Each structure stands twice: as structure tokens, then as C-alpha cells.
């Protein structure tokens, strides 16, 4: 499975599609905010539930984009250990960090499944607009799972220690 493999293209397309949905959520927040401000100042009547809408859209933004950011190498990387070790040790360390990150993201995905079930059964809704919350836990679960897969892939592929650069093609 090289960088240009069919799997890479399909998986990259999936991460890109999820990121696009996150981008639509950004657009949605912008439109709702502009409309809310306009309604507030022009008619002294803000849009009810703007906070509910923006909070839920933020979930879509973050977990829609997290896989794409990881896949394309656009996450912020902070090197805590100076590059004093041989390249093989640094590559091994990067793989360990990716595996630990994948384990955390799989934990988040699993907890999202449990939360989805719980919130669907109890009928939890948002405070103002009474929008069901469980679909947003599904979004968290999907985003966390996709990012966990990204990290597992990165952990198994050879990389240069100094290569914290985006993949050129996905």
C-alpha cells in the first residue's frame, strides 16, 4: 500500500468528505451568527437557540476535520524531545506516539457509542431548541474512529523524523 494506492485515494476521499461537512458547519455558524446579530440590532429580536446551534455545529467542525488534518499532516506538531537520537529511534518514537494517540481516539470512539446509546434511550435534548443530542455523539464517534485509523496507518508507514509535512497527494 504505497502513498498513491487505491486505499489511500479512497480513504483520503473519505477524510476530505468529512472535512467538507465540517466546512459546511463553519458556513452554517457564520450565517447563523450574522443573522442573529442583524436580527438583534435591526429588530431587537435575536434568533432563539443560536448558542445551541453553534455548539452542535462545533462538534461537526472538529470531528469532521480531525481525520483530514491528520491524514494530510496539518495537525500542529510539538517536538518535546530534541532530535538528538538516531533516525531509527525517532521513527520508532513517532510510531509509539501514533499508536498511543490511536488508542486514545479509539477510546473516545467507544465512549461515543455508549453515549449515543444512552442519549438516544433517555431522549436528551439541547437546552433551548430541544434538538436530540445523540446524533452529535455519532459524529464524535465517526470522527474519532477515522482519526484513529489515520494514526494507525501513520504508525505502520516509514517516515522521516523531520518530515512533519503534509502528504502531497491523498
| Vertex 156: Cα angle to 151 and 158 (nearest 5) | 110
pTM summary value = 0.88
pLDDT in tens, 44-100: 999 999 999 999 999 999 999 999 999 999 988 777 777 788 888 888 988 999 999
In which band, very low, low, confident or very high, does the pLDDT at 168 lie, cut at 50, 70 and 90?
A: very low
Amino acid at each position: 500500500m504505497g502513498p498513491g494506492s487505491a486505499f489511500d485515494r479512497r480513504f483520503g476521499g473519505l477524510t476530505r468528505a468529512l472535512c467538507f461537512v465540517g466546512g459546511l458547519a463553519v458556513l452554517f455558524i457564520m450565517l447563523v451568527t450574522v443573522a442573529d446579530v442583524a436580527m438583534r440590532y435591526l429588530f431587537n429580536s435575536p434568533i432563539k437557540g443560536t448558542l445551541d446551534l453553534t455548539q452542535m455545529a462545533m462538534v461537526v467542525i472538529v470531528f469532521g476535520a480531525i481525520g483530514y488534518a491528520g491524514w494530510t499532516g496539518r495537525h500542529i506538531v510539538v517536538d518535546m524531545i530534541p532530535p538528538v537520537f538516531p533516525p531509527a529511534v525517532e521513527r520508532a518514537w513517532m510510531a509509539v506516539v501514533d499508536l498511543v494517540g490511536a488508542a486514545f481516539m479509539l477510546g473516545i470512539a467507544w465512549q461515543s457509542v455508549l453515549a449515543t446509546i444512552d442519549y438516544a434511550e433517555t431522549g436528551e435534548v439541547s437546552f433551548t431548541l430541544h434538538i436530540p443530542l445523540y446524533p452529535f455523539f455519532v459524529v464524535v464517534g465517526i470522527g474519532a474512529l477515522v482519526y484513529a485509523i489515520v494514526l494507525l496507518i501513520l504508525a505502520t508507514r516509514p517516515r522521516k523524523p523531520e518530515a512533519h509535512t503534509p502528504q502531497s497527494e491523498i
